[in-house]
């Protein structure tokens, strides 16, 4: 048992307190909270068996009042000098923080959607007619969402280049990333969730890397959208930053014109000021700004449920690639290299798409109260053959 002293400028201070699932050499997976470079064992510190389940789902399902109660208890334990059971961050193994129920990935960046429109439809309008009227999305595969640090096997599938008369089968040669933010549903619902009820249902946020096989995707996506080009792997960060820690990061979306339909209107925006950093083999290549996203996460969830689709504890929905107006703010390599025509320099090497052995790390942080910073940690993955 110990008390904890951390640097005043830590991204994992009292204003943050993200949740994750960890294990030690002599313990099963259990829920903890990161404070500085330590993990607070909530089972031992709060004497609450709900945190011994190896998943955040039972706790998340208890709802907003319970989330506030536990957060207050953790802060009180830290600040009162009460005995706290901790483990150094480098002595634990991190696991999937929650059981993923469903996974939906949106396409909410106007800059990303416009860039891909220019790449794929150079003689047409970059945005399709529906894009500014609703948050476009596809339904992904929850079973292949993995925690940061999991190796990513290069996927196989059909590919057909424009110059080829018929498709071939084999490993993707245009393997890509998508730097995104994801949001985790805590409280389920069998009725639509309006934007203003967002914080009653969504527990927190994670960093997402939606790995994408662009050659497989390009051949298969017409007319029903992504399938094998996306379903092989999606990585998330191990720490779930609670919405309760992100109040100071709230901002406004870009001007939405035309005005959204009634069910998508927010009385107070849940757009968030989060800065991401993408590192490729140790070299920083991009800084995507989440505050540039056209659709807010509250609008995404409202659209996802407006047709009567139920939501469940552990549902994950992601933003889609985060890109800004500048080249160094593009959150996917297909944009950053402009379809492979403009290679990126990584030290003594160049890249267009991912090669075996490449590692990508995406980190994120947001402003907190009184000038503090809220860290999300990072999500990393290495490509294997």
Q: What is the per-residue pLDDT across 198-217, written as a single tens digit (0 to 9) for each?
A: 999 999 999 999 999 999 99
| Residue 42, both tokens | 């909530």
Rounded average pLDDT over 115-126? 94
Separation between Cα atoms, residue 211 and residue 113, nearest integer Å: 17
Q: Which CATH superfamily is domain 19-95 in?
A: Fumarylacetoacetase, N-terminal domain (2.30.30.230)
pLDDT average, residue stretch 178-182: 98
pLDDT surpassing 50 at residue 1? no
Q: What are the catalytic residues? A: 112
pLDDT, residue 354, reads 98
CA separation for the pair 246, 181 (Å, rounded): 13
Query: What percent of the chain has pLDDT above 70?
Result: 99
Per residue in 253-312, pLDDT (tens digit) is 999 999 999 999 999 999 999 999 999 999 999 999 999 999 999 999 999 999 999 999
What does the alpha-carbon distance between residue 343 and residue 190 come to, in Å, rounded to a whole number?
Answer: 47
Whole-angstrom distance, CA of residue 82 vs CA of residue 87: 16
70-79 average pLDDT score: 96
Question: Is 19 annotated as contributing to ligand binding?
Answer: no
pLDDT at 361 over 70: yes
- Domain definitions of the chain by residue range: 19-95, 103-383
Residue carrying the six token digits 């290679």: 343
95: exposed, middle or buried (C-beta count within 10 Å: 0-12, 13-18, 19+)? middle
What pLDDT band is residue 81 in, cutting at 50, 70 and 90?
A: confident
Q: Is 217 annotated as a binding residue?
A: yes
Give me the mean pLDDT over the 123-133 stretch: 96
Is 0.95 surpassed by the pTM of this model? yes
Question: What pLDDT score does 82 carry?
Answer: 86
pLDDT (tens digit, 9 = 90+) per residue, 310-350? Answer: 999 999 999 999 999 999 999 999 999 999 999 999 999 99
Termini Cα distance of the chain: 44
Beta-strand ranges (E) seen in 287-372 are 316-318, 344-346, 349-351, 359-367
Residue 2 has pLDDT above 70, yes or no: no
Average pLDDT, the chain: 97
CATH assignment of 103-383, given 3.40.50.720, 3.40.930.10, 3.90.850.10, 3.30.420.40?
3.90.850.10
Can you give the pLDDT at residue 104?
98
**Which H or E run includes 114?**
helix 110-120
- Residue 230 annotated as part of some ligand binding site: yes
Q: Are strands 145-147 and 234-236 parallel, antiparallel or unpaired?
A: parallel
> Which pLDDT score is estimated for 33?
98
Query: Is the predicted pLDDT of residue 371 greater than 80, yes or no?
Result: yes
Mean pLDDT of 89-98: 98
**Alpha carbon distance 75, 174 (integer Å):** 47
- Name the helix (H) or strand (E) containing 113: helix 110-120
Residue 61 contacts by C-beta under 8 Å, 6 or more apart in sequence?
Answer: 186, 187, 188, 313
User: According to the model, what pLDDT value does residue 3 have?
Assistant: 65
């Amino acid at each position: 048992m110990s008390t904890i002293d951390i640097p005043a400028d830590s991204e994992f201070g009292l204003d943050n307190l993200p949740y994750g699932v960890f294990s030690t050499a002599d313990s099963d997976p259990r829920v903890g909270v990161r404070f500085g470079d330590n993990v607070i064992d909530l089972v031992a510190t709060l004497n609450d068996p709900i945190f011994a389940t190896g998943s955040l789902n039972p706790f998340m399902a208890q709802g907003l009042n319970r989330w506030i109660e536990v957060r207050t208890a953790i802060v009180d334990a830290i600040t009162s000098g009460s005995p706290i059971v901790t483990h150094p961050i480098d002595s634990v193994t991190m696991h999937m923080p929650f059981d993923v129920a469903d996974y939906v990935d949106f396409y909410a960046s106007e800059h990303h959607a416009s860039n891909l429109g220019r790449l794929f439809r150079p003689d047409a309008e970059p945005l399709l007619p529906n894009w500014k009227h609703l948050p476009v999305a596809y339904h992904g595969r929850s079973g292949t969402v993995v925690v940061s640090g999991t190796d990513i096997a290069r996927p196989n599938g059909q590919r057909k280049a424009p110059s080829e008369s018929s498709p071939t089968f084999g490993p993707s040669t245009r393997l890509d990333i998508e730097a995104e933010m994801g949001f985790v549903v805590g409280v389920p619902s069998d009725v639509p969730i309006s934007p203003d009820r967002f914080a009653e249902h969504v527990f927190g946020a994670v960093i997402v890397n939606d790995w994408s096989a662009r050659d497989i995707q390009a051949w298969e996506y017409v007319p029903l959208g992504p399938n094998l080009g996306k379903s092989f792997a999606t990585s998330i960060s191990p720490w779930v930053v609670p919405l309760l820690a992100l109040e100071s990061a709230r901002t406004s979306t870009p001007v939405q014109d035309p005005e959204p339909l009634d069910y998508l209107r927010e009385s107070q925006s849940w757009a968030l000021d989060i800065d991401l950093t993408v590192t490729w083999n140790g070299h920083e290549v991009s800084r995507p700004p989440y505050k540039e996203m056209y659709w807010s996460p509250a609008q995404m969830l409202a659209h996802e449920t407006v047709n009567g689709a139920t939501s469940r504890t552990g549902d994950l929905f992601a933003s889609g690639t985060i890109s800004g107006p500048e080249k160094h703010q593009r959150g996917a390599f297909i944009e950053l290299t402009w379809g492979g025509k403009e290679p990126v320099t990584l030290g003594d090497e160049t890249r267009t798409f991912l090669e075996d052995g490449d590692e990508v790390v995406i980190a994120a942080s947001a402003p907190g109260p009184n000038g503090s910073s809220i860290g999300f940690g990072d999500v990393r993955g290495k490509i294997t053959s």
